[in-house]
Amino acid sequence: MMMSNELSWLPDLINKLDKKSVREAYGSTLVSIGIDKNVVVLDADLSTSTHTSMFQKKYPDRFFNVGISENNMMGVASGLSWTGKKVFVSSFAIFATGRAYDFVRQSVCYADSDVRIVATHAGLTVGEDGATHQMLEDIGLMSGLPRMRVLVPADARETEQIIRYVYENRGPFYVRLSREKVPVIHDSDTFRYGKAETIIDGDDVTIIATGILVAAAKVASNHLKQGGISARVLNMATIKPIDRDSVVKAARETGRIVTAEEHSIYNGLGSRVSEVVTESYPVQVKRLGVYDTFGESGKSWELMDKYSLNPMGIVNSVKEIMKVNK
């Protein structure tokens, strides 16, 4: 087991964090699309955390804080949407998808309502609040719902593009955001709905990552290159519908796949990739994620290191899968 500072989140990666968190990028993008009078935003007493408060300041007549009632919020959102409103609802991922699941299922998805759920504070990087607030099952919950599309940006710039995309297209959508500032991945607009983005090309193995883990995958790939392993890195910002072609191409061309996500290994990116691979081009897949456990309190990046959701975790997963013959 290698021990190297450069492969943990502390301190090197932290020094390269974006000036803006993805949730701040969400708030500022909401303000710019708020020019459209049909945009209505709801929040459930977390607006200063989700940054929908930025929209509230600019458009107080089209912002509604429903209080701590996520179920009611989803129903109100559905009702609003059926009058032609383009509705955004925000809360923490745990409440927006877990607490309100049946409302999302019936009033949003089954009713086919034009609603975008943009949830922040997903995953372990909630930090000190601990397991009660660290949502690790939301990608699974939302992906299982007919009509729902699931998006996870890797940085602030991609968040801006994704929020614009879901604004311009009819819901329902689920956009998964995190709490912390994250490293910058993009210096240009690269998001294409339903398409994996090749961050680094490679031949020996493909690392398919989403959200914060894209930055870790980049570092891991560069490290592996020094050891003679050519690791492709794909940013899978659209989890559903997943880019089957890119997954199959990766399986065919590199023969091994590692997935990395700040989510349970069940029903998240790793599961989706595995489904595509087993159906279309069976190769070995190693899933890096949270292994059937709850989170805990701690500093975000310390937790990510403890749970191996860091460059080292990815490097170790790659080395393990490299032992398997193609």
Partner 1 sequence: MQGSVQSENLEFIAKEVRKSIVKMTFEAKSGHPGGSLSVTEILTYLYFRELNVDPANPNWPDRDRFVLSKGHATPALYSVLATKGFFDKSLLLGFRKISSLLQGHVVNHVPGVDITAGSLGQGLSNAVGLALAARIDKKNYRVYAVIGDGEADEGSIWEAALSAAHLKLSNLIVFLDRNMIQLDGFTEEILTLGDLEAKFTSFGWASTTINGHSFDEIARAVEWAKKLKGPKMIIAKTVKGKGVKFMENNPEYHGKPVPNEEKLNEALRDIEAM
The answer to whether residue 83 forms part of the interface with partner 1 (CB under 8 A) is yes
The count of residues interacting with partner 1 (CB under 8 A) is 30
Q: Which is nearer to partner 1, 69 or 230 (CB)?
A: 69
Q: Which is nearer to partner 1, 66 or 269 (CB)?
A: 66
Interface region with partner 1, contact rule CB under 8 A, candidates 16-24, 77-85, 200-208, 232-240: 77-85
- Token duo for residue 17: 């964090």
Is residue 243 within 8 A of residue 193, CB to CB? The reply is: no
C-alpha neighbours within 13 Å on the C-beta side of residue 41: 33
Closest approach of partner 1 to the CB of residue 84, in Å: 7
Specify the pairing of strand 63-65 against strand 39-43: parallel
The answer to whether residue 74 forms part of the interface with partner 1 (CB under 8 A) is yes
Q: What is the DSSP string of 173-189?
A: EEEE--SSEEE---SS-
* The binder of partner 1 chosen from 12, 14, 98, 112 (CB under 8 A): 112
Q: Does the active-site annotation cover 180?
A: no
The answer to whether residue 111 forms part of the interface with partner 1 (CB under 8 A) is yes
Interface region with partner 1, contact rule CB under 8 A, candidates 5-13, 22-30, 79-87, 280-288: 79-87
Q: Rounded CA gap, 180 and 183, in Å?
A: 10
Q: How many angstroms separate the Cα of 262 from the Cα of each of 125, 198, 308?
A: 8, 20, 10
The answer to whether residue 60 forms part of the interface with partner 1 (CB under 8 A) is no
- Token duo for residue 292: 């059937």
Q: Rounded CA gap, 93 and 32, in Å?
A: 23
The answer to whether residue 45 forms part of the interface with partner 1 (CB under 8 A) is no
Q: Which is nearer to partner 1, 61 or 292 (CB)?
A: 61
Burial class (CB in 10 A: 0-12, 13-18, 19+), 41: buried
Q: Which is nearer to partner 1, 66 or 229 (CB)?
A: 66
Q: How many angstroms separate the Cα of 143 from the Cα of each of 65, 110, 172, 173, 251?
A: 27, 14, 11, 10, 22
C-alpha neighbours within 13 Å on the C-beta side of residue 294: 9
Closest approach of partner 1 to the CB of residue 224, in Å: 49
Is residue 151 within 8 A of residue 176, CB to CB? The reply is: yes
Q: Rounded CA gap, 272 and 241, in Å?
A: 10
Q: Which is nearer to partner 1, 72 or 222 (CB)?
A: 72
R_g of the chain computed on alpha carbons: 19
Is residue 259 within 8 A of residue 287, CB to CB? The reply is: yes
- The binding track of 89-108 with respect to partner 1, each residue x by CB under 8 A or -, is -------------xx-xxx-
The answer to whether residue 116 forms part of the interface with partner 1 (CB under 8 A) is no
The answer to whether residue 144 forms part of the interface with partner 1 (CB under 8 A) is no
The answer to whether residue 41 forms part of the interface with partner 1 (CB under 8 A) is no
The answer to whether residue 80 forms part of the interface with partner 1 (CB under 8 A) is yes
- Listed residue (90, 46, 97) closest to 67, CA to CA: 46
Q: Which is nearer to partner 1, 141 or 182 (CB)?
A: 141
The answer to whether residue 185 forms part of the interface with partner 1 (CB under 8 A) is no
Among residues 70, 180, 197, 262, the one annotated as catalytic is: 70
Q: Which is nearer to partner 1, 142 or 231 (CB)?
A: 142
Angle at 278 between CA 272 and CA 283, to 5 degrees: 105
The answer to whether residue 84 forms part of the interface with partner 1 (CB under 8 A) is yes
Note the residues at the interface with partner 1 (CB under 8 A).
40, 61-62, 64, 66-67, 69, 71-85, 102-103, 105-107, 110-112
- Known catalytic residues are 70
